Structure 1
Amino acid sequence: MRFAKQGWVRWALIFGAWTLLGLFICSQEFVLRARLRRPIQIGELLAVGFGLCYLWALATPLIFWLIDRFKIERENWLRHSLVHVLASLLLSVSIKVFHDFLLFTFVYSPSPEKPFSIAASVQGFYPIFDYWVLIYWVILLVTHATEFYQRYQEGELKATQLESRLAQAQLQALKTQVNPHFLFNTLHAISTLMYRDVRAANRMLTQLGDLLRLSLETAGAQEVSLRQELEFLDRYIEIQRARFPDRLTVHFEIHPETLDALVPNFILQPLVENAIRHGIAPRSTVGRVEVSARLSNGLLELQIRDTGRGFPTDRLGRLSEGVGLSNTRARLRHLYGAAHRFELRNVPTGGAEVLIVIPFRPAEEFVEEDLAVSEAEFAAADSSEEADAQKDLAIAKPAIREGVL
């Protein structure tokens, strides 16, 4: 239905363009006859102007067919240009002759002294042949320009989609690199605790199960609300508290207006893990980790601070080469480009601090954009992609029923 509507709109525009040209020709003919003091007959005037233009309007589909059949490309421009030169001349002469025939048959008063003559009609075409040939070439150039612009837009859209898919694939690869890193570290901590406190190790396994469940719930999302990210972080901290029951304290300072802000999924845990490993674990005294979130001038500021020894000053510039920090930096760069800050610094009173500054976006805005993108991608998907999706779904259904997936 949409394509049919677009077709009607296209032909309405074509009809309107020829009508405007007909009005222009009628006005010219009117002014010319008025200056020459020749009798002005409205019916004849309209037949001369609109009759010729509407004959061209009827011939427009043929012109479009010729343009499509003999497209002027780099490899055939000379041969197809000659075809269009010939077509423009033949079409212009044919329409002029047929128009004169209609005028002499239905409009002009019959006169034996001035009968209709093809030769006379062709001869009368010479003074104006460049006008109508030019119109043919204007149609050709406009059609080619429109098609070129559509190709350009399609190319831009495909490039944007490919770039978006590549970015998503890179982000997903970064996430899958961090998740095993976190999991192996946690399992190692549990195995170490097993020799000292079996019950505590068992509690850690239960908490790890809850943590993995939360991770699976948001596995496909690159961004989640800060509320969800803090829920995940809280489960992780409970596991670490079992490792350091008397040495670890964690303080949260979260402004309420930031809870619905979008943040990269799984962004805080690696930073808190580093703070505990390098700032708390080496100490024999009580250590403190602070996690804060606030809004400032439309930006979301996330801060993780510990009371440990701080970053080694001679290695401060190379600290982001590790798995956790390098992945964090790469994900922020992919998601926000230059519109983010990621800083590592030492606190003057002692300890290390990590600062992340990203644009503030509420979770509701993300849901609306995600739905719009999904609808656009679904509308742009061709039949082969839909067939592949149906095939994948058919393969996955038995596994889902058996509880494998």
Structure 2
Amino acid sequence: MMVRLGNTQIGLFRYLGLWGGVVLVFAVQGFMQDVMNGSTVWSIFDYLRWSMIEWYTWAALTPLVFQLATRYPIQPPVRLRGLGIQLLASLGVTMLVILIGAFVSTAFEPSSFAEQVKLFVGQHFATDLLAYWLVFAIQQAMQFHAEKTRREIEASQMATELAQSRLRALKSQLQPHFLFNTLHAIATLLDEDTLSAEDMLLRLSELLRAFLEDYDGQEVSLRRELVLLDLYLGIQRIRFKDRLTTRIYVAPDTLDCAVPSLILQPIVENAIAHGISKRVGVDCIEIESRREGDTLCIDVRNHNSKLEAGPASGSGHGIGLSNTELRLRELYGEVAQVSLGMIWPEGVICRLRLPFRDIDELDDAPEVASL
């Protein structure tokens, strides 16, 4: 059996046990008071009986006090109506406790009901009135705590939903941006090399299918991310032919590490857009992954671009880098970092630093090989 106190339920025996502790405390207090005052000392069972009559009456009426407190709370700003109702309720419940206690005591005492009422009013009125307000305060505290917990949960859920919405928006920007650039490259090749353009279309369809299969996920293994990247690099190698080479250096213990999905493709696209697409000559794109303590380090290098000096250098590298920074901030906070730097004798390196954490996923993708 359960006792309901507002929105809280408590087992009957536990509830009676808690009030039993109150009974015992006041029985001992009554006994010690008579001993110290030199009054008549009664049997310990008499003190227990008197205490039980009073406090188990309160145990029976406490759910009523919780209902009154729930219906007529006193909350800022304090309104006279709510305060007045609670004052009247406290007096009414206190008198009800006294009347019930006097009625039950009549069965054990030689005095009449009226005499017991006078005795209870004289001895217990102030205590019972304070007991009402104590129970009321407990109910208000429990309700405040429950409301605070509910708001914290709602705030946490809203923050999570907002973060997920931001991540989905950031991620959704990548596919149209990449698709536009790739289709533009295919259109350029149609007049120059029809077979290569058809090959790019086939690879593009494979890549888009892989994108759509994992569109809702925010993290994948580095192994899967590199397979997707290999599809993209295949398109770019067809586009630039022997002008572009790619190399991937992967530490085996990093293959199952979690990375944001589609985190490398926009960075590589950015390197190509600001390198070989704008500059004559050949270029080499290198991707390297390694573990340093609790950090996954991923470097993307190209050898045919320059990093402009000054504050505009970061913003000048387009949607790829800015999108990457925003996604990492949403997913990992300040733990993750992305930065650009120059490499000798010429080229740019993009450094990603992520928390090292394995991800469990069913992955049928082939092993990644150096290209």
TM-score by length of structure 2 reads 0.89
Query: Which residue number in structure 1 is paired with residue 195 of structure 2?
Result: 199
Question: What is the CA deviation profile of residues 303-330 of structure 1, one whole-angstrom value per residue up to 9, with x for unaligned ones?
Answer: 1001113212246534356222221121
Residue 177 in 1 paired to residue 179 in 2?
no
2-structure distance, mates of 1:58, 1:120: 20
Q: Which residue in the other structure is 1:102 paired with?
A: 104
Q: Cα offset for 1:127? A: 4.4
Aligned-residue offset at 1:116: 1.4
Secondary structure of the equivalent of 1:30? Answer: helix
Distance in 2 between the 1:129 and 1:197 partners? 101
Q: Deviations over 1:125-163 (max 9, x none)?
A: 234422221111111111111111111111111111112
Question: 2:123, 2:27 → 1: CA distance?
Answer: 18
| Change in 2 beyond 3 A, CA 1:7/1:137 | closer
Aligned partner of residue 221 in structure 1, secondary structure: coil
Deviation at 1:233, TM superposition (A): 0.1
Quote the offset at 1:37 in angstroms. 6.3
Q: Which residue of 2 aligns with 1:20?
A: 21
Q: 1:7 to 1:312 in 2, by over 3 A?
A: closer
After superposition, the C-alpha distances for 1:264-310 in whole angstroms (9 at most, x for unaligned) are 11110111112223223345433211101111120111110011132
Counterpart amino acid of 1:157?
Answer: I
Q: Compared with structure 1, are the counterparts of its residues 207 and 80 closer, same or farther at alpha carbon in structure 2 (3 Å cutoff)?
A: same
Unaligned segments of structure 2, at least 5 residues: 363-371
CA contact (8 A) 2:301 2:350 kept: yes
Aligned to 2:247: 251
Secondary structure (helix, strand or coil) at the match of 1:338 reads helix
* 8 A contact 2:270–2:318 mirrored in 1: no
Partner of 2:368: none
Query: What is the identity, as a one-letter code, of the residue corresponding to 1:64?
Result: F
Q: 2-side partners of 1:22 and 1:331: how far apart? A: 61
Contact 1:253 1:291 in 2 (8 A): yes
Choose from 45, 48, 51 the match for 1:49: 51
CA distance in 1 between partners of 2:189 and 2:86 (Å): 85
**Distance in 2 between the 1:149 and 1:293 partners?**
48
Matching residue's letter, 2:216: G
Which structure carries more relative contact order (alpha carbon 8 Å, separation 6+)?
2
Aligned residue number for residue 334 of structure 1? 330
Match of 1:133 in 2: 129
User: Cα deviation per residue 1:194-219 (whole Å; 9 max; x = unaligned)?
Assistant: 22221111111111111001100110
In the alignment, residue 46 of structure 1 is paired with which amino acid? Answer: L
- Choose the corresponding residue for 2:272, options 269, 276, 279: 276
Amino acid at match of 1:160: S
- Report the AA paired with residue 291 of structure 2: L
For residue 76 of structure 1, report the CA deviation from its aligned partner. 5.8
Q: Residue 27 of structure 2 contacts residue 50 of structure 2 at CA under 8 Å; is this kept in 1?
A: yes
- The DSSP-based 3-state class of the residue aligned with 1:281 is coil
Structure with the bigger percentage of helix = 1
CA displacement at 1:22 relative to structure 2: 0.2
Which residue number in structure 2 is paired with residue 380 of structure 1? none
SS of alignment partner, residue 310 of structure 1:
coil
Superposition deviation, residue 38 in structure 1: 3.0
> Whole-Å Cα distance in 1 between the matches of residues 3 and 97 of structure 2?
31
Partner Cα separation in structure 2 for residue 170 and residue 31 of structure 1 = 67
In the other structure, the counterpart of 1:9 is 10
What is the aligned residue count?
Answer: 359
In the TM superposition, residue 84 of structure 1 has moved relative to its aligned partner by 1.8
Find the partner of 2:93 among 91, 94, 100. Answer: 91
Report the Cα offset of residue 175 of structure 1. Answer: 1.5
Contact 1:306 1:353 in 2 (8 A): yes
Corresponding residue of 1:82: 84
Stretch moving more, 29-38 or 345-354: 29-38
**CA offset digits 1:336-383 (Å, max 9, x no partner):** 22222111111132100101112122213x99xxxxxxxxxxxxxxxx
Task: Verify the 8 A CA contact 1:229 1:268 in the aligned structure 2.
Answer: yes
TM-aligned CA deviation for residue 61 of structure 1: 1.7
1:10 & 1:78 partners in 2: Cα distance? 36
Which residue of 1 is the match for residue 42 of structure 2? Answer: 40
- How far, CA to CA, are the matches of 1:90 and 1:118 in structure 2? 18
Q: Is the 8 A contact 1:47 1:103 kept in 2?
A: no
| Structure 1 pair 320–146 and aligned structure 2 pair: CA distance change class (3 A) | farther
Q: Aligned to 1:352, which of 348, 355, 359?
A: 348
1:171 and 1:312 mapped to 2: Cα distance? 29
Matched, 1:301 2:297: yes
CA gap of 1:7–1:165, structure 2 versus 1, over 3 A, is closer
Whole-angstrom distance in 1 between the partners of 2:256 and 2:77: 57
Cα distance, 1:301–1:311 mapped onto 2, change above 3 Å:
same
Contact 1:253 1:293 (8 Å CA) reproduced: yes
Does residue 230 in structure 1 map to residue 232 in structure 2?
no
SS of residue matched to 2:325: helix
- Choose 294-303 or 73-82, whichever is displaced more: 73-82
Structure 1 counterpart of 2:164: 168
Aligned 8 A contact 1:344 1:353 in 2: yes
Which residue number corresponds to residue 61 of structure 1? Answer: 63
Task: Say if 2:307 and 2:313, in contact at 8 Å, map to a contact too.
Answer: no
SS at match of 2:307: coil
